[in-house]
Amino acid sequence: MNIFIGNLSYGVEDGDLADLFAQYGDVESARVIKDRETGRSRGFAFVVMNDDTDANSAIEALNGFDLNGRPLRVNQAIEKERRERRPRY
């Protein structure tokens, strides 16, 4: 299951999230989304967990959890619909 984590403190790194979510099960990946130009965190991330039961437990336990002074917003990620790119002229 792909999990969305919002309202992240800018100092949170991939490993911090992996460690936090590993308390609830096997973490396949944890990725803080960063700005392409500045390399600074954009304040949200995605964590992938293989077992849906573990993922749901993590979502329930960590939604609203205070991490570095900010309450996390944690829920199942919604797959973004891929749109066809129009050619630029």
pLDDT tens digits, one per residue of 29-43: 999 999 999 999 999
In angstroms, the CA 85 to CA 89 distance is 12
Predicted pLDDT at 80: 74
Predicted pLDDT at 86: 72
Pick among 3.30.70.330, 3.30.565.10, 2.130.10.10, 3.90.1300.10: CATH of 2-76 = 3.30.70.330
CB atoms within 10 A of CB 17: 24
Domain-wise residue ranges, the chain = 2-76
pLDDT tens digits, one per residue of 47-82: 999 999 999 999 999 999 999 999 999 999 987 776
> Which residues have C-beta within 8 Å of that of residue 84, sequence separation ≥ 6?
none
pTM of the shown model: 0.85
